[in-house]
Structure 1
Amino acid sequence: MKTKNFLTSAFFALTVMISSEALAQNDSSASELAKQKTVTVGGAPMYPSKNIVENAVNSKDHTTLVAAVKAADLVETLQSKGPFTVFAPTNEAFANLPKGTVETLLKPENKKLLQTILTYHVVAGKMSAADIATAIKKGNGKATLKTVSGGTLTAWTKGSEVYLTDENGNSAKVTIADVNQSNGVIHVIDAVVTPKS
């Protein structure tokens, strides 16, 4: 009977010790996150220690983009080491596309086209707002950015605002810059840019 009581006590002590350690680790993780300099996007803090996908899923303004990234099988790519510069259109930007466009793009048979459009919003390497501004200055007011899809975006400024013009002549404004990620940076834009078809 004593042995059974001893084993029960020992097991209880071990459980308490493991639980305390797990709580301490969670507290430590939470306090580490709290120390980070964040930017709020879509009502949620974006943590520089998290990757592009881990942060994007928390933004209420980017649910359409996240759904599109999942449908295009690009989650793994955007969770990889990178680094990437992502120009992230908001839900409103997707809603401004012609009626039915998003629904059509999300169909399995259009996966290749969706991948092309999404990777057109991505530039290899990490380009901060300052890097983009420098490139624009060097290019006498315009900078050509090569996208992962193989297309190009033209960055330019109007006053203090930075804009991107796609291959079809449509423009998007950067509304939130320098949202740092563990594998790159996100710049939120107010329109969907598209490559020449």
Structure 2
Amino acid sequence: MKKFAIPALASALALAACGSPAEVDDTTADTEAVSAEATDTGTIVDVASGNEDFSTLVTAVTTAGLGNTLAGDGPFTVFAPTNAAFAKVPEETLNGLMTPEMKDDLVGLLTYHVVPGETNAAALVQAINDNDGSYELGTVNGGKLTATLDGENVILTDAAGGTATVTATDVEASNGVIHVIDTVVMPG
């Protein structure tokens, strides 16, 4: 699995927590620089908006009215389909989901890609291994995704029996983590 290195909020917190008050005064500039770097990471929505490979996802999130929710405190784990993943969805279906009449279905689809809490790649692989090779994730929309391993790749199986491969992991955001997937998962 690929891993993107983006400055982590945890690094800023660890640095700030290391020193006594006198040391913090001496390192204020360094701590502020790390904190500013972590803040630059932005929310899940900010990170996705800053990457052109997620433009369809960002459009869908905006259309569904989920921007504020996914920019909230979280934490969230988002399995984010790329534009190429959305291109696998029949154009007629995708266009239909983007209409006001289908907003509830779009919200259901998008929230099926979101898991409450922050689960990094190492924790997910460990959970799969600890549970005899299969781990069930509860999504925000109430559905389930099943995570398994195929070699070193995490595979998600959706309610419809479709699969998506996690192609990049641990893209950090201030309110959670993003794992990139190559196929849109379907809630049923």
Normalization by structure 2: what TM-score? 0.79
Runs of 4+ in 1 over 3 A off after TM superposition: 31-36
Aligned partners of 2:41 and 2:47 also within 8 Å = no
- Listed one character per residue, the Cα deviations across residues 74-95 of structure 1 (whole Å, up to 9, x for unaligned) are 0010010000000000001101
Q: Which amino acid in 1 is paired with 2:116?
A: A
Corresponding position of 1:90: 82
SS at match of 2:86: helix
Q: Which has the larger radius of gyration?
A: 1
Task: Show structure 2 runs of 5+ residues with no match.
Answer: 1-29
Inter-partner Cα distance in structure 1 for 2:52 and 2:36? 20
Q: Which has the higher contact order (CA 8 A, sep 6+)?
A: 2
Percent identity, aligned pairs only, is 49
1:153 aligns with 2:145: yes
Give RMSD over aligned pairs: 1.9
- Listed one character per residue, the Cα deviations across residues 55-87 of structure 1 (whole Å, up to 9, x for unaligned) are 111111000000000000000100100000000
1:54 aligns with 2:46: yes
Normalization by structure 1: what TM-score? 0.76
1:115 aligns with 2:98: no
Aligned partners of 2:128 and 2:134 also within 8 Å = yes
Q: Compared with structure 1, are the counterparts of its residues 158 and 48 closer, same or farther at alpha carbon in structure 2 (3 Å cutoff)?
A: farther
Shift of 1:141: 0.2
Indicate which of 178, 183, 186 corresponds to 2:170. Answer: 178
Q: Which amino acid in 1 is paired with 2:97?
A: L
Alignment length, in residue pairs?
158
Q: Compared with structure 1, are the counterparts of its residues 48 and 159 closer, same or farther at alpha carbon in structure 2 (3 Å cutoff)?
A: farther
